[in-house]
Amino acid sequence: MDPGRELGVNSFEIGARDGAARAGVLHTAHGDVRTPAFVPLASHATVRGLQSSEVAALGFEMVLGNTFHLFIRPGHERIAKLGGLHEFMGWERPIITDSGGFQVFSMGHGGVAEEIKASGGSRGQGHGSVLEIAEEGVRFRSYLGGEEKFMGPETSMGIQQALGSDVVLAFDECTPFHAGRDYTAGATERTHRWLERCLRWREENAAGGLFYGIVQGGTWEDLRSASAQRVAGSSIDGIAVGGSLGQDKDQIREVVGWTLRELPETLPRHLLGIGDVDDIVAAVAQGIDTFDCATPTRLARHGTALVPDPGARWRLDLKKPSEQDSAEPIAADCPCPACTDHTRAYIHYLARAGELTAVRLLVLHNLTFMHALMETLRAGVGSGNLEARGEAILAGDSPYDICPD
């Protein structure tokens, strides 16, 4: 028996469908996650500026911890000794952990983070330098202290096991857009061999949690299809779509489509590093169940709020001089404290002054926006009007207005 399947084949239940979209429940050892869902980043064991209890109060049922960053600091053994990542960060709900592959390879490929960022999403950013990429794994120099470190499939599985992750991701190579077909094909094949090593390690170590394989293959239809078939044919509990999804939003949709058509209906599907509003609306309609992305918290750090404005890519830069005298809230119908208690002028001032309170208020606002967006899409699947709701969002309707409750 595969210990990754200890919760049974019914770890994901689909409750409603609307076209290719699904509304479901992911069952984990730390509770359920209703889908479609956005997963806030707690890369460094904290969602920027918030206590874990506040993230739960916003309605989120899962956060993403980062294997690479937590390996570097404070170290997975330390977290394990302190009771695991849930206990360490005071978060009692499910945790999905990135495999570390993205960050390790970002150091080598350089451009991946920038490319994905340019296309509207990101899985966070790597630093340091890669010393060697080999079949065994990757040797690199830590961005703290500069000591040499190694990460391979077994390392990644061991770290995620020590963290006590509920949803473990396979160790993969995230190939950059500029890599070219030959490199991407070779790296995707190696990612498949690493998937087998991940599975073997998990079996030998009776590892817990659900296990997701990662589909790579860049922007080539045949490579994506083959990777999706290969990963779906493995002993996995779910699938994550990774790697470069292309240069623009149309290509993202195309690559996601090539991947999804090869996957069984029964498995939950996570789309890595994508979080723009229009991308989420499209991907939910295509059949993606969960998303993670640094954008809502990164925008907050830079003084930008998410708002129902498609013409501005759903972004409002509060540092703009035009906001300095505005007595309006960011969004009149938003229930977050930034909007109920404060004006744009105040947040403009705080952001310009570099005050932590600005980051915090905007993280609260942006995550409230993301949660409302997912709620309305999920309700849309349930009531069979996802397309209308999606169109309303894309036309600039507020997700709060559309929300059922």
Give the nearest distance from C-beta 100 to a second copy in angstroms: 17
Task: Write down the catalytic residue from 18, 276, 279, 292.
Answer: 292
Q: How many CB atoms lie within 10 A of CB 292?
A: 28
Task: Write down the catalytic residue from 98, 172, 237, 289.
Answer: 98
∠ at Cα 323 (320, 326), nearest 5°? 175
- 147 Cβ neighbours under 8 A, 6+ residues apart: 141
Chain centroid to CA 350 = 28
Give the nearest distance from C-beta 244 to a second copy in angstroms: 29
Contact 227, 188 (CB under 8 A): yes
Active site residue 292: yes
Q: Is 198 or 318 the residue whose CB approaches a second copy more closely?
A: 318
Q: Is 204 or 355 the residue whose CB approaches a second copy more closely?
A: 355
Q: Is the peptide bond before 74 cis (omega within 30 degrees of 0)?
A: yes
Question: Which residue has tokens 């993301």?
Answer: 370
| DSSP E strand stretches across 249-382 | 269-272, 290-292, 304-306, 315-317
Q: Is 38 or 88 the residue whose CB approaches a second copy more closely?
A: 88
> Which residues of this protein are in contact with a second copy, per CB under 8 A?
44-53, 73-74, 78, 81-83, 88-90, 324-325, 327, 337, 341-343, 345-346, 349-350, 352-353, 355-357, 359-361
What length is written for the chain?
Answer: 405
Active site residue 98: yes
- 17 Cβ neighbours under 8 A, 6+ residues apart: 23, 381
Q: Is 56 exposed, middle or buried (0-12, 13-18, 19+ CB in 10 A)?
A: middle
Dihedral sign (CA 405, 288, 194, 264): positive
Q: Is 5 or 301 the residue whose CB approaches a second copy more closely?
A: 301
Q: Is 186 or 337 the residue whose CB approaches a second copy more closely?
A: 337
Extract the tokens encoding 103.
């960050």
How far is 335 from 394, CA to CA, in rounded Å?
21
Extract the tokens encoding 181.
């077909």
Dihedral sign (CA 283, 285, 288, 289): positive
Q: How many CB atoms lie within 10 A of CB 337?
A: 13
Q: Is 250 or 355 the residue whose CB approaches a second copy more closely?
A: 355
Catalytically annotated residues: 98, 292
